[in-house]
């Protein structure tokens, strides 16, 4: 028996990735747009609070269990910035190019260019679930000053994984899914939901 689940996102890539991972344990994943669910506000300063708000919002409007993620890049020398503001680091409208320029400029005076991608996933059985299932993933790297690679999106061309000698944008989709913060979080979530 399968359980319908709403993904608090309209991202086709996430829908495919989450759907493939959750199908074997009995979940049929649907994007929130299928139910005309508008995007939730993300007013919080932590990834987990934003993901929880998005999951509760989607569940409340659909009556279904819901899954949400919140993720971003955190630079150690900047106290974790851009963090939850990663998508809009350089302001509105969202721009990967401007976000990357700002991050590189902000890191310029610092010797420490280390950073990490962080992802938190929150699953709620219903909108008022008192025990949401939470899983997280972290992927360490270094921010470099020039873009490398054609793949990925966001900060990927500037996020170097030292152990591989490649930026995330130089990895195949399979490599990225296996190693990434989101992949780690998703595998941890699947284990908890089993």
pLDDT for 13: 80
pLDDT for 12: 83
Burial class (CB in 10 A: 0-12, 13-18, 19+), 111: exposed
- On the question of pLDDT at 173 being above 90, the answer is no
Strand duo 27-31 + 114-124: pairing: unpaired
pTM over 0.75: yes
What is the side-by-side order of every strand in the sheet holding 133-143? Answer: 27-31, 3-7, 66-75, 114-124, 133-143, 159-161, 166-167
Class of domain 3-193: alpha beta
Q: Which residues are catalytically annotated?
A: 70
Tell me the per-residue pLDDT of 80-123, one tens digit each, with 9 for 90 and over: 999 999 999 999 998 999 999 999 999 999 999 999 999 999 99
Tokens of 108: 């310029």
Mean pLDDT, the chain, rounded, equals 95
Domain ranges in the chain are 3-193
Tell me the per-residue pLDDT of 118-136, one tens digit each, with 9 for 90 and over: 999 999 999 999 999 999 9
Alpha-carbon span 9 to 86, nearest angstrom: 17
């Amino acid at each position: 028996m399968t359980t319908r689940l709403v993904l608090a996102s309209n991202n086709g890539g996430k829908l495919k990735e989450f759907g493939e991972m959750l199908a074997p344990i009995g979940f049929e994943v649907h994007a929130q747009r299928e139910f005309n669910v508008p995007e939730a506000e993300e007013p919080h300063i932590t990834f987990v609070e934003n993901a929880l708000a998005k999951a509760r919002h989607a569940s409340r409007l659909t009556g279904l269990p819901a899954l949400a993620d919140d993720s971003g890049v955190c630079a150690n020398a900047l106290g974790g910035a851009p963090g939850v503001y990663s998508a809009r680091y350089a302001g509105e409208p969202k721009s990967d190019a401007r976000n990357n320029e700002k991050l590189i400029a902000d890191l310029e005076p610092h010797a420490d260019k280390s950073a990490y991608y962080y992802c938190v996933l929150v699953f709620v059985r219903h909108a008022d679930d008192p025990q949401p299932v939470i899983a997280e993933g972290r992927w360490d790297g270094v921010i470099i000053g020039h873009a490398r690679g054609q793949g990925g999106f966001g900060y990927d061309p500037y996020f170097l994984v030292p152990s591989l000698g490649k930026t995330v944008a130089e990895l195949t989709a399979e490599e990225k899914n296996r190693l990434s913060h989101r992949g780690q979080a998703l595998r941890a979530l699947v284990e908890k939901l089993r």
